[in-house]
Structure 1
């Protein structure tokens, strides 16, 4: 019994030193969960109150994580390190160091609360420590050594952008993952087949590493421009396609996005929704420089998709057309200078009656709305008139209304 206690204490003492020696995965030491394990192991050489304090903090982090195995796996995948920087030809010494780090993490996952508490009782002769909360061991990581980890990084990707398929740029230019992005798929968007085909063709070329264009989707409101872009990303998220949605007012942070994208194995669509300018300002100039590549050039794994209700993106006034011939021409060239830099322009016009009713029919069938076709069309047309015209958005809203009324009656 005494021998077993000594063996456990020695193993935990060695693990405490090894966790401090993480190298390839050293960033994980700064994470809350791995950091809590390190603190509780260190506390075994301090005092019973210190151990109890850090043990409670570890339990708190485990409760917050929920699935501890998944939390460790995410921490490894979301990391950017010396191994991710040299995946094309990793050094054998580096792979060996990664193996050491993985062994440390798996040893932490194999620990139980009972083992930690027993070691503390032995160290401080305080049996009351056995009354602290308990927790079980967790499953090991799916890669046994550094070579397997390198293969995992190549196949699944790594770094910050592995956290989600969709990101947004908030105030201060901070890029944040969207935990539950819009799940719309192309099958949810009937109609506009020619437009969708053109966007898909360009996106597939981009994913295959071939020449691809920046795209401007312009046209009437409610025609599905934004939904189409999001649906395309959802179709190919399993191929590493990501979307970064940002407001036109954040255009000046493009350089930060470039820097982040350069170190990432994923491919990005930077999405500017409802793009327009009231005048030629700094954002207008920055966007032109982005499309043209600028002096530094934009990453090959990044393209821009933008939507707008106007083709020329900048509001054109009658004043732009006044003056002598030279000044008028200069003003008009300024107005069109940005939109002309998009390699592909796709128009989303208000659907005619037949296309609108086709969209209504498709959505009704998808949602199993059992309504006489003639009656369905009559109600759909009336709804569109009240909504100031036909559009895919009006069709979806109409179907939602019919479904709500149907469930009200049942």
Structure 2
């Protein structure tokens, strides 16, 4: 008897098992970042941009105005130089009359003669006024400038320009402005000195002598300092001790003061000179005090200050005038 073949299981009756089929990995192409057009600025952004542009335009206009003012040298006889290229006018210079400067007659005569030669277009030297503090160095420069302008026509008047010690590096820029002018200028730096590793003195050296342009013919430089060589003693000694050739290092440092052709030394005044200064001030301003009382108070004032100088005499005079109700005017 033949065997019947086994019946194939029905699809509906058999348990179907689903197995996950791994899809072949397909590498997607990298997305290319499409460059979108920039969105137009909003009203607020546009306003900020406009305000920023206006501020820049105003700054440029102010700078241009400063440059124009620098050339308007008819406005005054005295100016202050600013390193941004601006000359600000000084309507009234703080000074004393030259006749009130006592105890410095020799230095006064030499400086006035040098300044007068320069004002008349003749050769003259740059001047370094050095020495004891409070002895009238800066007062002499301002008084000499004022005294020479008294009898001069407006077109022939000397111009006094003060440059601050910290702005010395901008001196070449100032020279460029003054070089093209028809006026003659005294460029004045009060209390000039250099410390530490300050190398700005090299700008001054080039202007005084040595640069290919040199000092303009219509410019002269006057400087005051408590130091004869404009450098601190420890600065010079340090150069001497650390340099391979000490002599050359020190020579390079002290050569700055050598470029001032005129040296005027101011020394401490005697008691008689100090009293002469006090009496000269009191006489000029009409301060009436008995001579013996004036001398006693003036000497006591100098003793409390620990020094005698023209500055101390002026400070005593101000104190005395204040106590007596006398108004002072140095104009």
TM-score, structure 1 as length reference = 0.58
Contact 1:185 1:232 in 2 (8 A): no
Q: Is 2:203 the partner of 1:291?
A: no
Considering only CA atoms, is the larger Rg found in Structure 1 or Structure 2? 2
For 1:188-203, what aligned pairs fall within 5 Å after superposition?
A: 188-203=100-115
CA shift, 1:258, in A, is: 1.9
Residue 280 of structure 1 contacts residue 314 of structure 1 at CA under 8 Å; is this kept in 2? no
Match of 2:135 among 202, 212, 223: 223
Deviations 1:344-371 (A, max 9, x none): 0101111111111111111111122222
- Could you say which residue in structure 2 is the equivalent of 1:346? 264
Measure how far apart 1:299 and its partner are.
Answer: 1.2
SS at match of 1:258: helix
Distance in 2 between residues matched to 1:354 and 1:268, nearest whole Å: 36
The offset of 1:323, in angstroms, is 5.7
- The aligned residue for residue 206 of structure 1 is 118
The answer on whether the counterparts of 1:244 and 1:271 sit within 8 Å (CA) in structure 2 is: yes
Match of 1:319 among 213, 217, 238: 238
Please give the per-residue CA displacement for 1:99-126, whole angstroms capped at 9, x wherever unaligned. xxxxxxxxxxxxxxxxxxxxxxxxxxxx
SS in 1 for 2:221: strand
Give the aligned partner of residue 152 of structure 1.
Answer: none
How much does 1:381 deviate?
1.0
Consecutive unaligned residues of structure 1, counting only runs of 5 or more, are 1-78, 81-157
Shift of 1:171: 4.7
Map of 1:273 onto structure 2: 190
Distance 1:399 1:335 in 2: 40
Separation (CA, whole Å) in 1 of partners of 2:81 and 2:71: 17
Q: Residues 184-206 of structure 1, C-alpha deviation per residue, up to 9 Å, x if partnerless?
A: 32123233110100100100110
User: Where in structure 2 are the equivalents of 1:11-410 lying within 5 Å?
Assistant: 160-237=72-149, 238=152, 239-279=156-196, 281-292=198-209, 294-317=211-234, 318-322=237-241, 327-407=245-325
SS in 2 for 1:175: strand
Q: In structure 1, how many angstroms separate the alpha carbons of the residues matched to 2:294 and 2:184?
A: 42
Instruction: Determine the C-alpha separation between the residues in 2 that align with 1:242 and 1:284.
Output: 24
Deviation sequence 1:208-263 (CA, Å, 0-9, x none): 11110000001111111111111111112334101110112212222222222222
Tell me the C-alpha RMSD between the 2 structures: 2.2
Of the structure 1 ranges 186-195 and 241-250, higher mean CA displacement relative to structure 2 is found in: 186-195
Cα deviations by residue, 1:79-105 (Å, 9 ceiling, x for unpaired): 99xxxxxxxxxxxxxxxxxxxxxxxxx
Asked if the contact 1:350–1:390 (Cα under 8 Å) also holds between the matched residues in 2, the reply is yes
**Structure with the largest fraction of helix:** 1
2:95/2:139 contact within 8 Å kept: no
Larger RCO of the pair (alpha carbons < 8 Å, separation 6+): 2
CA contact (8 A) 2:207 2:215 kept: yes
